A and B are shown apart, each in its own frame.
Chain A
Amino acid sequence: MKKIQFNAVTATYKNGEGIRRADFVLNPHEFLFLTGPSGAGKTTILKLILMSMLPDSGDVQVGKYNSQHISKKEIPLVRRQIGCVFQDFRLLEDRNIYENIAFVLRITGHREKSIKRKTFKMLAEVGLSHKRNQRPQQLSGGEQQRIAIARALANDPFVILADEPTGNLDPETAKDILSLFKTINERGTAVLMATHNQNLVAQYAYRKLELKNGRVFG
C-alpha cells in the first residue's frame, strides 16, 4: 500500500520562504485537503511530492521512493505513479484531446492497442469522448479540467495531486469537478487536494491539513 509521508521537512526558496518542519502522512486511499491562504506553502508541498524541489532537511517518502536517496534519473519514475491536476489545466496545446491523454501512456511504453483502449476508457469516464479530436483551446475550462483529470488517471496512479483544481472554474463547474474527485477516491485512488476555497472544503468531511506561513497544522 503506497503512501506519502513528510518527516520534519524544511524546504525553502532562495528568499527564505517555504515550508518549515512539516510532518504528515497521506494514507493509502485517503482524501486529504491541504488548505490555507495563498502563499501558505500548499504548492510547495506538492512540488516536494513531485520532487521538483528537494527538502533542505527532513525527507519525503513517496511510495517506495525517498527524497534523500532519489537520483535525477528516478524522478520521472516517481511522477509516473502520481497523477497531477493543476489550476490552469496544463494540457499540451499542440495536440488534440486524445493525444493529450495518450501522451502519458506513450511515455510509459504502452502498446498502441492498450493506449487506445485506455484512452477511450478515460475519455468515457469524464464524459468527453465526443471531443477527442478537438484541441484543448476549443474546450471550456470545466471540460479542460476533466481532460486533465482523465490524463492524471490514465496511468493508474496511487494518488492524484490537485493544486487549486477549481481555481479557474465557476462555482457550479467547481462542484462537478469536486464530485468527480470524490468518485475517483471512492474507487480507491488517494487524493491530495490543495485549495484556499474554504466553502468547498466545508462541504466534505475529509481530513484537512491547514497550512499557515509554511507550518502544517492538522
Chain B
Amino acid sequence: MSLFLFIIKDGFAGLVRSKFTSFLTMITLSLAVLLLLFYFLISQNILLKISELKSRVTIEIFLDPDLDSSDIENFNRRLQKITGVDSVRFVSKEAALEKFKELFSGDYVQLIDENPLPASFQVKLTAEMNQAYVQKIIAEIKSLGAVDEVVYHRKLLSALNQYYDSLRRIFVGVGLGLALLSFFLLWINIKLTLKIKERAIETMKLVGAKPGLILGPFYVQAAIEGATAGLISLLAVRLIFRFFRFDELFPAGVNFSTLNWAVGVSLLFSIFTCYWATRRLV
C-alpha cells in the first residue's frame, strides 16, 4: 500500500467514523448545489427568451398623415441610413386597415367608412441592444421629422427583465444561505474531528509524520463529501424533471449533460472549506 492509498483509506475511515455529520453535510451541500443548478437552468431559459424577444422587437413609426408618396420614399431612405437600423418595412394605410380587419373581424369594421389608420414603418434593430441604445435610435428617428408617433414594445421586455432580476435575488439569497450552512457544517465536522483526533495528531507529529500525511485524510474526506453532494444534486435534478413537468418554464427542454460542472463546483467548495478549517493546524 503506497502512502497515497494509505491516505485515501484513512480518509474513508474518517468518513465512516463521522457518518452522521458527513451525511448531514452532504445533504445540505447537495441542496445548495441543486438550487444553483435550478438557477442556472432557469436563467439560461429566461436569457434565451429575452434574446429571442429582443430580436423580435420592432419600433413602429406612425407617419404624419399628410405625407405624400415621395415624402415617404425620402423618409424611408433617411431611415435606412441610421446606424442600428437593420431592416425597414413599409405598411401603407391600406395594408394597416387590412391587418386591422383581420384582427377585428366582425360587423363593426363596417362602421368605418373612412380609413383612420396611418401609414407606418416597422423597423427592426440590429443585434444587441439596451434601453439607452434604443432610446437614442428613437430620438434620431424623431429628429427626421414627419413622424407622428414612435412606439417601442419594451413593456414585455422590461417585465421579463424585472422577473429575471427578482428571480436572481431570490436564488442568490437562498443559495448563499444554503452555501453558508454547508460551509458551516463542513467546517464544524472537520473541527470536531480535529478535536477528537487532537492527541492522535500530536502523536503522529511526534513520530515524524509530515503535515501532508496528517491532513491528507481530511482532504480526502472533504473531497468525497463534495463530489458525492454534487452527484446527488445531478441525480436530484433528473428525478425532479422525471416526476414533474415544467413545460412553461423550460419550453426548450433541459440538457442534463450541460450540468456536470456542478460536481466540480461542489468538490472545490468542500476542498476550500477543508483548507479553511485546517489551515492553522500545521
Q: Which residues of A contact B (CB under 8 A)?
A: 50, 52, 76-80, 82, 84, 90-94, 103-104, 106-109, 112, 151-152, 155
**Contact A90:B199 (CB < 8 A) given known A106-B3, A109-B3, A112-B1:** yes
Whether B20 sits at the interface, judged by CB under 8 Å, is no
Contacting residue for B204 out of A80, A92, A108, A112, CB 8 A: A92
Contacts of A79 in B (CB 8 A): 205-208
Tell me what chain A mostly uses at the interface: helix, strand, loop, or mixed.
helix
Query: Which one of A50, A91, A112, A155 contacts B206 once the chains associate, using CB atoms below 8 Å?
Result: A50
Tell whether B210 is near chain A: CB-to-CB under 8 Å: yes
Alpha-carbon gap, A50 to B206, bound state (A): 7
State how many angstroms separate the Cβ of A149 from the closest Cβ of chain B. Answer: 13
In the complex, A82→B3 CA distance in Å?
Answer: 21
Extra inter-chain contacts (10) besides given A52-B205, A78-B208, CB under 8 Å: A77-B208, A79-B207, A79-B208, A80-B207, A84-B206, A92-B200, A103-B204, A103-B209, A106-B3, A107-B207
Contact in complex: A106, B1 (CB < 8 Å) = yes
B13 within 8 A of A: yes
Partner of B203 from the list A77, A92, A155 (CB cut-off 8 Å) is A92
B100 beta carbon closer than 8 Å to chain A = no
Select B6's contact among A77, A104, A106, A155, beta carbons within 8 Å.
A106
Nearest CB in chain B: distance from A83 CB, A: 8
- Name the residue on B nearest A83 (C-beta): B207
On chain A, the residues within 8 Å of B50 by CB distance are none
B204 contact set on A, CB distance < 8 A: 92, 103, 107
| Residues in chain B within 8 A of chain A (CB atoms) | 1, 3, 6, 13, 17, 197, 199-200, 203-210, 213
**CB closest chain-A residue, reference B207:** A104
Shortest Cβ distance from A100 into chain B, in angstroms?
10
Neighbour of B210 across the interface among A76, A91, A93, CB < 8 A = A76
B210 CB contacts on chain A under 8 angstroms: 76, 107
Chain A residues lying within 8 Å of B6, measured Cβ to Cβ, are: 106
Chain B residues contacting A92 (CB-CB under 8 Å) are 200, 203-204
Residue of B nearest to A152 (CB): B207
CB distance from A139 to the nearest CB of B (A): 16
Bound-state CA distance A217–B17 (Å) is 49
Distance, CA A151 to CA B200, complexed state (A): 14
Q: A90-B199, A93-B200, A94-B200 are contacts. A84–B1 as well, Cβ < 8 Å? A: no
Bound CA span A84–B200, Å? 14
3 closest A-B pairs (Cβ-Cβ)? A79-B208, A80-B208, A90-B203
Query: Which residue of chain A is the closest to B210 with respect to CB atoms?
Result: A76
CA–CA, A80 and B207, complex, Å: 6
A-B contact pairs, 15 of them (CB 8 A): A76-B209, A77-B208, A78-B208, A90-B199, A90-B203, A91-B203, A92-B203, A94-B197, A103-B207, A107-B3, A107-B207, A107-B208, A107-B210, A107-B213, A152-B207
CB distance from B13 to the nearest CB of A (A): 7
